[in-house]
A and B are shown apart, each in its own frame.
Chain A
């Protein structure tokens, strides 16, 4: 395949070169020469295709000779265009000649290609690459695998640089083949995988098939039969789809070989038969020949030598048609062996003779040695030891030094003939040689085996590494996928969280709204409760007052009643005195009546004001400010408080004193509010002095006093003082706080001072407390001297 491509390349190059030649201004002889060169090259190629090696070589040599003559003409260099064309033709000639001579003289082919290479300039990359590639093939055939590899690599690099993708692709396959031959199965597979990959990318079915088939044998050589067959079947499918019968036969052949290597002879047979059936339809001598031989060998392996011979005999006429005579020699040798196995001596000898003749014709030294060995063997069977000895000596002369296996056998048989001839010395010497060879062969076999094993191991390692790197790659990809997935997941999670947050925020918003509503409700409830409490506090203080009020009303009422009664008596007396005409007494009685009337009025008013005060007190603070006499307000509430407490607690008693500033002006306040403040402070004062008096201190006189005065700052100061227990330091700050109380549960609302504070503040005044433990407490109400409402 590679060769074909190469040829196509050359032909295309040639055509390109030839076309303009016709229209150029070349001299007649030059034109005649170039035309001749072209003709020779075409013929060479034609014979190459037909495996006519001699004719191929003849025309290639003619083309090369002519092109070299032209090339060496002095005046040719002046015409650059012509010069380049001649160079191209010369190179093509070199290449075709090398290819023609390759079959018989590899060294000559190499030399030719090297000469052609020298003609090339740096710019002729493709030609250079083609030559390198061909050199690689030559070295491969020569068994110089390192060189083969070296040139193949060079070719590959040049193809890569040139950008000729197709050539690069096929050179990759070539590399794979070279490495496979070298036994570097792992490396080979790498190149083939690469070529397969590129082949698939560019959809080059030929490259794909070639890669797969080359890989198939790589797998087969490392005994990975399943992988080998898998590759081959894949290639088969491609050929089947294209209905390429030639290709299908080829793959059946490959699969037959694979099964044969695997030791599955029946399957091998099936495939080889399939290949043969197709090949017989074509005029494909070489491959038909090959198929017959494979089938024959399988029969032989299966123990059916007769059938093996049958197939060999059928195949050989096809072999005679092909140019590759080494194969024909080999086939005759093996056929001779098979006949020998059946003890058909004459047939065997006939085949060995043919092999000898043909090998000599083509200079196949190994074949010649083997043919002689066969003939020697027959001579030995016939008891002709001297003859055998002679023939074997001929064989020894022709066998390549490197072919230890054959030499080993030759020495063994020579020794045997000498032994039979009674020449023990020579028998011994040859036995020694045999032993040496045997050792060498053994070691060579060992080396080969070791190499094989090493190669397989390396393959396995490489595959393992590849698998590992594949796995790594997969892992990396997986990682990437995972990362992407994670990124996506994180994104989704982020979205989800965002949504959740929004929902939560929304829910909380709603809850907050609800909460706000509830809070507002609670606040309203609290405000209502507070109002209720304030009312309760008022009512509580009112309750405290009720008894006091009752007493306060009772007293004036008593006076009113009593004085009225007295007046009635006095009026009755007055009438008596009138009748008696006692003027002095009448006057005295009238004065008394007047005094009593005054008392009645006075106490009536007193009761009236108390009732009014009580009503005012119970009223929720919507009171109007009015000019109020603070002194009388203080006096009124002091009495209310005192009598209230007395009414509540019979054991209660305390002294109270007042010191009112008579110059105090009336100020604008809400009397019932300030009254409540006073009531509160006075109640507290009485409460604390009462508490203290209960301790039974000797000489303690519970006293509450109220003083009023106008301060230097024109403010009204009301001081409520007591000589009670005093307020402990730790609760001094708390006394104005709502609901703070030191009284037992049920006795105080804890709102008294708090409300008082607020009321005073509302009047633009201040409420302050001073206290000393054991001495008492002093509350100071400061009110602005305000006359306005």
Chain B
């Protein structure tokens, strides 16, 4: 299972690789990283819906997470990848917008990795 993580913070890669170190080791998960919305779309274009789950930050310079969500949901209809939005600003407006645009889940920073792992486990089992 491949997960694409989109965030302008480059250290997010180290963090995720550390956090999912065991899963990566056991080949349960495959992580891909993009540092902007544009990069993410480019990745998706190249890899052709390779990623089943997209974890995206909302606040990013240039294309925001919500723009990315909107693009993904419009572009890839069948079957659209799961998109989980992550934001430091867990406010109603962002949540509602994200849900309207077809976000599959809404996570707030700081990320609870155990919770995230659970959710991934559930997706795998579905």
Contact = CB atoms under 8 A, between A and B. Distances in A.
Interface size, A (range): 20 to 34
B50 interface: no
Contacts of B63: 653
Interface stretch (A79-87, A180-188, A557-565): A557-565
B67 A653 contact: yes
Contact of B113 (A565, A596, A654, A656): A565
Contacts of B21: 570, 592
A625 interface: no
Interface stretch (B9-17, B41-49, B72-80, B117-125): B9-17
A690 to B, nearest CB: 12
Given A554-B109, A642-B61, A643-B59, A650 B91 contact: yes
Interface in A591-646: 592, 595-596, 599, 602-603, 642-643, 646
Interface residues of B, number: 24
Interface in B18-77: 18-19, 21, 59-64, 67
Nearest to B36: A655
A650 B94 contact: yes
Interface in B81-102: 88-89, 91, 93-94, 97
A562 B61 contact: no
A533 interface: no
Contact of A559 (B15, B91, B97): B15
A534 interface: no
B72 to A, nearest CB: 16
A566 interface: yes
Given A551-B59, A562-B111, A646-B59, A599 B11 contact: yes
Given A562-B19, A565-B113, A566-B18, A551 B61 contact: no
Contacts of A596: 14, 18
Contacts of A379: none
A555 B15 contact: no
A558 B14 contact: no
A551 B89 contact: yes
Contacts of B19: 562, 566
A297 to B, nearest CB: 144
Contacts of A595: 14
A563 B109 contact: no
B13 to A, nearest CB: 11
26 contacts: A551-B88, A554-B109, A557-B110, A558-B109, A558-B110, A558-B111, A559-B9, A562-B15, A562-B110, A562-B111, A570-B18, A592-B18, A599-B11, A599-B14, A599-B15, A602-B11, A603-B11, A642-B61, A646-B59, A650-B91, A650-B97, A653-B60, A653-B61, A653-B63, A653-B67, A654-B62
Nearest 10 CB-CB pairs, A to B? A655-B62, A558-B110, A566-B18, A653-B64, A554-B88, A646-B59, A562-B15, A656-B61, A650-B93, A558-B109
Given A558-B111, A654-B62, 20 more contacts: A550-B88, A551-B59, A554-B88, A554-B110, A555-B88, A557-B110, A558-B88, A558-B110, A559-B9, A559-B11, A559-B15, A562-B15, A562-B113, A566-B15, A566-B19, A570-B18, A592-B18, A596-B18, A653-B63, A654-B61
Interface of B: 9, 11, 14-15, 18-19, 21, 59-64, 67, 88-89, 91, 93-94, 97, 109-111, 113
